[in-house]
Structure 1
């Protein structure tokens, strides 16, 4: 970030033709960035899930956990840096955020794993459809946890 406090997304919105949308963008920036990065994570998670289950032949539950670890690391960096702008001035604050973030994500991982177990493993539903629905549940839950518990503004 430069002296103006603008990030790359603010600069993009200042490009010719996009300036007309800047007031709306500024008002909804947090949610828009969360959805943008959340969308990237959904695609990354689904791609990893397909890679691990279809290419490597891993079981759905194990593949989901490995994809989850990779995606949570990506999410922590993007959420902390761009979505919630939640920098801290101490190592203790950083590790408190990290612990809270991973704890919240572990909770939603449990919800997702339960959904996959019930609907894929037990009921034999379409694995990609169940995975996509589970991702929607997880994204909404993760936003609430991150906004109100992990990166809450003082």
Structure 2
């Protein structure tokens, strides 16, 4: 339960980065949905990966391997979400509503993917987890 809560909190912070940068790109710079979405997504993914690896899943899994697995997730998610986002905004849906809905879908699917694919068998293996275990046993 605590792991899901930490993932939620870090994802919320990544969501703030994604929404904030998306709003900046669309409102201040006049970018269209697709480039604004893709750029803000990359920023939030990097943030989320870094903090969830260290503090949520407390994993010492190989960083290049873990990042490659996350990249595979986004190799599927990004084209799909870009397609439905553009399609929905092209027919008049509010771009902020589309972005928030997409972020919610991403939140649920990414948690499951990271927990059961990226960090499977490697959860609670880093220095943060070891120190917590030592403190618990002391």
Verify same fold: TM over 0.5: yes
Q: Distance in 1 between matches of 2:49 and 2:31?
A: 26
The two structures have a TM-score, normalised by structure 2, of 0.83
Shift of 1:110: 2.2
Higher relative contact order (CA 8 A, sep 6+): 2
Which has the greater radius of gyration? 1
Equivalent in the alignment of 2:25: 52
Equivalent in the alignment of 2:136: none
List runs of 5+ in structure 2 lacking aligned partners: 123-138
RMSD value over aligned CA atoms?
1.2
Equivalent in the alignment of 1:100: 69
Equivalent in the alignment of 1:4: none
Give the counterpart of 1:124 among 80, 92, 99.
92
The two structures have a TM-score, normalised by structure 1, of 0.75
List runs of 5+ in structure 1 lacking aligned partners: 1-27
Note if contact 1:72-1:105 (Cα within 8 Å) is conserved in structure 2: no
Equivalent in the alignment of 2:132: none
